[in-house]
Structure 1
């Protein structure tokens, strides 16, 4: 067996209602002063207030930083880190979607050590130390609570990643009740995003693709394939919400160790230039990247097809089963109500060459793709998606 490394969050606490334990957990793991990182949308849900009540009951003073934005820019990270320092926070809590969790990871690092944000982009450049860190996801999409990755928008549109096991949280707390209020469109986009994590982790040609990631990916796809539509169309179904949240986490564990590839590489410029949510950006290019890959590397897609769509088990030939999987994923996205083309997002056709050029900057991801993607290939994929 090829040697591999597998890292994940050391403690995972999952269950409906576990948010009620946050006060005791923070008191034990962090202390009496914490910074809670979130966004304005989360404040409006009442979930932050509930968390603050639990923290207060446990004798924890929590300073709230509430200005996280989608695709967070560097300025949000540095301002939030200063808030942690000013509050003399003993640790950091991230509560919300992937952007809040990503910011919380970097704030724990910057406030807890001497590193500078611009010096830690890339793989393995963040060394620590960091403050204690607890992450609480409220969407079933990014898996950020179990990944050593944080994505930041630099300049006007380019995204950069900090990748280091140092920013894995001490505790990932997953309460499916926190996802019950997610609107259908957000449920769909984040759900497809999580499925992309599992698909790309399984098919990745990274040298660290490993049996643990592949097994987590297939189980994640089984859970999410059976629950996504129910969660989208019957948002109060706690079983569907639980399966989706667990599947999202498992997909996060998978791609944290067997990295994602061209779907993400082509999605990032869409989000960076046009502020399309990350999950939807993935969904827009997913079927087209899958078909591009499956032309020369159908095997991984044929292997995972029946885990998501059991009816595909009856398709005998590998290439046909892989093609069926590509088509079925596109159909699932459409049934969940997501936009299907770039022009629906008001992306001009004459901007596609710029997207293709920018996608080539994501070399960290493109090297993991089962098929080489040249700039002309990226342009053709965008044109097909348009």
Structure 2
């Protein structure tokens, strides 16, 4: 067995209704002054009010930063960190989807004024200390509550990452009741995103691909493969929502240590240029990247196929089972109501070469793909997805 490293959040707390305990947890783990990071969409749900009531009921003074945007730019990250500094926050709580959690991570890092955001970009460049950090996801998708990664939009469309175990929170607090109100389309897109995390982690060519990540990935696919359609069609189904939230977290733990690859590399330029939500960007290119990879590397896809889709276990031929897995993932996306082509997102065909060129800049991700891609290969995939 090759040497590997596995890191995850120090404490994971899971349970329906757990948000009500946020105040006591913060009082015990952080102190009496906290920065709460969220976004305008969350403000409209009532969930932030529940969090504030719990915090204030425990005697915690709260500074609210509510301006997180999707694909957050550097300006939002620095403004949030400034809010933590000015309020003399003793810690940070991130509440919301992946963008809010990512901004909370960086605010906790930058609020110590130990380094700049520019110095933190890249792998292993973020340095301790950071403020104590609690992350509370409200979507079953990114797994950000257990990943050492924060993605920032730099300039007009480029994305850069801060990747370091320093960003792993002290507590990941998962309350499936917070996901009950998610609309079907967001449920579907974030759910496919989480499944992509598990798929790419299992198949990753990273030297740190390891038995822990692979086992987490298969359990994530088992949970989500059985529950995603139910969660999309009946958003109040708490067992399905619970399975999706737990599956998303397990997939996050998997890819945090066995990194994702070409699906994400091709999705990022779509989101950067056309502001397509990240989960949907992944879903749009997923079947075509899987088919490309499975032509020469079918084994990992054949191995995980029965976990997501138990009926595929009866297919004995490895290549045929891998191909069937690719088709089932495409069919699942369609059944969940997601758009199926780049043209449906008003992406001009003549823009595809620019997408391909930008995707090739995602070297941090492409190196993990089980099959090497040239720019011509990437363009062909975009053409197929168009």
- 1:167 is aligned to 167
- 1:254 is aligned to 254
1:181 aligns with 2:181: yes
How far has the Cα of 1:119 moved from its partner? 1.1
CA distance in 1, matches of 2:54, 2:121: 35
- 1:289 is aligned to 289
CA distance in 1, matches of 2:257, 2:57: 38
For this pair of structures, how many residues does the alignment match?
A: 386
Deviations 1:243-290 (A, max 9, x none): 000000000000000000000000000000000000000000000000
- 1:336 is aligned to 336
How far has the Cα of 1:226 moved from its partner? 0.2
Where do 1:180-219 residues align within 5 Å? 180-219=180-219
State the SS of the aligned residue for 1:281: helix
Unaligned stretches of 5+ residues in structure 1: none
TM-score by length of 2: 1.00
1:277 aligns with 2:272: no
- 1:110 is aligned to 110
Where do 1:60-79 residues align within 5 Å? 60-79=60-79
TM-score by length of 1: 1.00
1:349 aligns with 2:349: yes
How far has the Cα of 1:95 moved from its partner? 0.1
8 Å Cα contact 1:115/1:128 also seen in 2: no
CA distance in 1, matches of 2:4, 2:316: 32
CA distance in 2, matches of 1:26, 1:272: 35
State the SS of the aligned residue for 1:206: coil
State the SS of the aligned residue for 2:44: helix
- 1:80 is aligned to 80
- 1:226 is aligned to 226
Runs of 4+ deviating beyond 6 Å: none
1:4 aligns with 2:9: no
CA distance in 1, matches of 2:374, 2:72: 28
- 2:120 is aligned to 120
State the SS of the aligned residue for 2:214: helix
Deviations 1:111-151 (A, max 9, x none): 02411001111100001210000000000000000000000
1:33 aligns with 2:33: yes
CA distance in 2, matches of 1:120, 1:45: 33
How far has the Cα of 1:82 moved from its partner? 0.5
How far has the Cα of 1:316 moved from its partner? 1.1
State the SS of the aligned residue for 2:161: strand
How far has the Cα of 1:16 moved from its partner? 0.2
8 Å Cα contact 1:147/1:252 also seen in 2: yes
Aligned CA RMSD, in angstroms, stands at: 0.4
